[in-house]
Structure 1
Amino acid sequence: MDLRVFTEPQQGATYETLLRVAKAAEDLNYGAFFRSDHYLHMGSVSGLPGPTDAWITLAGLARETSRIRLGTLMTAGTFRLPGVLAIQVAQVDQMSGGRVELGLGSGWYEAEHEAYGIPFPKEKFGRLDEQLAIVTGLWSTPAGERFSFDGTYYQLKDSPALPKPAQSKVPVLVGGHGAKRTPALAARYADEFNIPFASVADTDQQFARVRAAAEQAGRKSDELMYSNALVACVGRTDAEVKRRADAIGRDVEELKANGLAGSPAEVVERIAQFEAVGSQRMYLQMLDLDDLDHLELIASEVMRQLG
């Protein structure tokens, strides 16, 4: 089971905070550092000092880390034109020496679009389909050849399809809870399917849908990586678990029911339940980014038991 760190900087974090977390995650041998792509905080937090841009952040981290993989859960398709996004991600992949992964979603948080004057189209899912086709199409176009696309929402003509990423294939993540269109998109474009904040039963059901869609699309279902994203709240004692839950404004029992919470042994057992239904990778949503001891505890007491 691959454990990755997943952060939500819109809730309040500077670049320097994210850099400390990414470097700690690298030193502790987590598989990757991922971040959300939002411009507005959620809930009762202040969000101070304000949002940071996902791909500018990852560009900085690309130069200040050396081993850990870097990516997004999920880049909002409403924020960037697909041709521009393909250039940005390819450049950051070059800057990192080939350590970038792209999670791409449709964009859903209407309030942040209103706050920053970003259009929030109704036909987001159709746009996402075309965005995935364009980004992957640009990257896969052989050097020296041209890429064109004539879609409903986007048109590209005679693009040189440059720059190319450092990796021969940047892993693309698609995720969500949708029963039909989401699995179909994953089957067509994704290297990894991620389901966020889901129960074991819902994970099992959604993974089965994606496997079926992959087979229908002519792919072997095991060509995809299957992963979960869940909030983490781990402590050596009940008091430590409660302290960490209080720090993020959550209830311990609720976290145990819906996330990865409790003692290291409890969390190992909980992860095993997801592994039993096919999960191969876990994105640990770390909401208190100042608590680096939390990362160390999970690395030393959870990660080592998972092998």
Structure 2
Amino acid sequence: MVLVGPSGAGKSTWAAARYRADEVVSSDALRGVVGSGPHDLDASSDAFDLLERIVAARLGRGLTTVVDTLGLDDARRTAWLALARAAGLPAVVVLLTTPPELCRERNRGRDRPVPAQVITGQIRKAGSIATTLDLEGWDEVHRTDETGGAAESAPERPLGSTTSTTAERRTSQGLRFVLQVGRFPWGEDPATWLAEVALAADRAGFAGLALLDHLIQIPQVGRAWEPIPEPWVTLGLLAGLDTGLELGTLVTPVTFRPPGITAKAAATLDALTGGRAFVGLGAGWWEREHAAYGLPFPPARERLADLEHAITTMRALWAPGTKSAGGLPETTCYPRPAHEIPVIVGGSGDRTLRIARAHADAVNVRTSELERARAALEGSDVRITVLDLPTIGRDRDDTWARVERLRGSTKATAYAERTYAGTPAEQRVRYGALADRGVDTVFLAVGDLDGPDDVERLAPLVV
């Protein structure tokens, strides 16, 4: 096991809480043996000579060995991996994701602190090393922190919420991934198919699961006679599973239900899940499904006014107490939500973005619309999420086979370009660029999500 993190990240504390002292090979401790103390940097060369000999000897005997150094040297790290492989031992990296400010504070409190410019370089290296670790071939890359608990049990602030509810699930690039399920090839056992997909998403590390809200399957996804379930009923089924997934819609048209009914459904889901519900809202766009179900489909101007009114109404019903608010004579809505339910507005039109800036926690756009959203939301606290529809294969051959299967009458090269076809490693480069441009959450939808095995194929994106 190799610990990775800058000075002050808490590596030694983490190791001491989990392993016997004899199992931990610490460069700091060895500096104390061959130098004047654990922070005697002048003794580093001799200390590392000893460390390498001890690590090799322990691995040669098949002993558990925890290497407690910065772990930022790629050559040393891969050499230790090779030694573990030669010894037939499992090899694990533990990446300490402790906030940089806390690392610096701890460093300043030491008798011999690491120079400021040095720790800055360490923090920068640690912040960019995650993808490298994923590609080196370790049996597991475990992410944690030493701020008082592991990263997977740190309090969550999902999409603008001010109440901590579930474990934070962000990738090493700082992104949250929510699996969007829009097609349902569930065969003869819908409930089992849904449950297996949700459980696989939870195991893979997705932050949440979102369902489309349509009355007829949309042509962008499938054929009209293919199933598309009512989402709030379906989310109730998923709420009964033992997962940490956030659950919601992306997006619910305000034309389908009065906003109070959607608010009631979301509040119930939030209470049942202990604070894991979110609501995606949009103005609606597909006239056919409205006509088929006898629903009015007013002009876009009216639908956008209804969108703004819906958010105001829903927030009034979710607020504490019972009073006149949001144009309602009373706000009697029990059970109350377990946390402040995030509202995500879908769309990139000028008025939609103004509504999102004024009333929403987040706005969801296509990746091609990102710059437009960034300009409209500059200076606000509204988070930007993107709906991404890539083609992802396990390797290059598998990716191309999927392109051929999915492209229909579209030219293969055009389809591959439009859907950013690539392997997980290639997709992570693209997602890193999205994170650098201010994206908080990726709603990931793939056109060949046939079951839990396909969710597992996406897992490398979510580490």
Say whether the 8 Å CA contact 1:73–1:104 is kept in structure 2: yes
TM-score between the two structures when normalised by the length of structure 1: 0.84
Long gaps (5+) in structure 1: 151-155, 216-220
Match of 2:274 among 73, 81, 97: 97
| Structure 1 residue 55 displacement after superposition | 0.6
| Structure 1 residue 242 displacement after superposition | 2.6
Q: Which residue of 1 aligns with 2:258?
A: 81
Fraction of identical pairs, as percent: 30
Aligned equivalents of 2:232, 2:316: Cα separation in 1: 20
Determine if the alignment matches structure 1 residue 244 to structure 2 residue 402: yes
Q: Which residue of 2 aligns with 1:50?
A: 227
Determine if the alignment matches structure 1 residue 177 to structure 2 residue 351: no
More strand by share: 1
In structure 1, the residue corresponding to 2:291 is in which secondary structure? helix
Root-mean-square deviation (Å): 2.2
Q: Which residue of 2 aligns with 1:21?
A: 197
Cα distance, 1:208–1:41 mapped onto 2, change above 3 Å:
same
Q: Which amino acid aligns with 1:115?
A: A
In structure 2, the residue corresponding to 1:94 is in which secondary structure? helix
Q: Which portions of structure 1, spanning 4 or more consecutive aligned residues, are displaced by more than 6 angstroms? A: none
Q: Which residue of 2 aligns with 1:287?
A: 447
| Structure 1 residue 163 displacement after superposition | 3.1
Say whether the 8 Å CA contact 1:78–1:106 is kept in structure 2: yes
Say whether the 8 Å CA contact 2:204–2:462 is kept in structure 1: no
Q: Which residue of 2 aligns with 1:218?
A: none
Determine if the alignment matches structure 1 residue 136 to structure 2 residue 296: no
Determine if the alignment matches structure 1 residue 264 to structure 2 residue 424: yes
Determine if the alignment matches structure 1 residue 109 to structure 2 residue 109: no
Match of 2:215 among 39, 63, 67: 39
In structure 1, the residue corresponding to 2:462 is in which secondary structure? helix
Aligned equivalents of 1:65, 1:48: Cα separation in 2: 32
In structure 1, the residue corresponding to 2:445 is in which secondary structure? strand
Long gaps (5+) in structure 2: 1-174
Cα distance, 1:113–1:295 mapped onto 2, change above 3 Å:
same
Say whether the 8 Å CA contact 1:93–1:100 is kept in structure 2: yes
| Structure 1 residue 253 displacement after superposition | 3.4
Say whether the 8 Å CA contact 1:40–1:51 is kept in structure 2: yes
In structure 1, the residue corresponding to 2:390 is in which secondary structure? strand
| Structure 1 residue 229 displacement after superposition | 0.8
Q: Which residue of 1 aligns with 2:363?
A: 193
Q: Which amino acid aligns with 2:314?
A: V
Q: Deviations over 1:72-107 (max 9, x none)?
A: 110111111011111111001111121111111111
Say whether the 8 Å CA contact 2:180–2:443 is kept in structure 1: yes
Match of 1:203 among 370, 374, 382: 370
Aligned equivalents of 2:374, 2:181: Cα separation in 1: 24
Q: How many residues in Structure 1 have an aligned counterpart in Structure 2? A: 281
TM-score between the two structures when normalised by the length of structure 2: 0.57
Say whether the 8 Å CA contact 2:449–2:455 is kept in structure 1: no
Say whether the 8 Å CA contact 1:113–1:120 is kept in structure 2: yes
Q: Which residue of 2 aligns with 1:4?
A: 178
| Structure 1 residue 16 displacement after superposition | 3.6
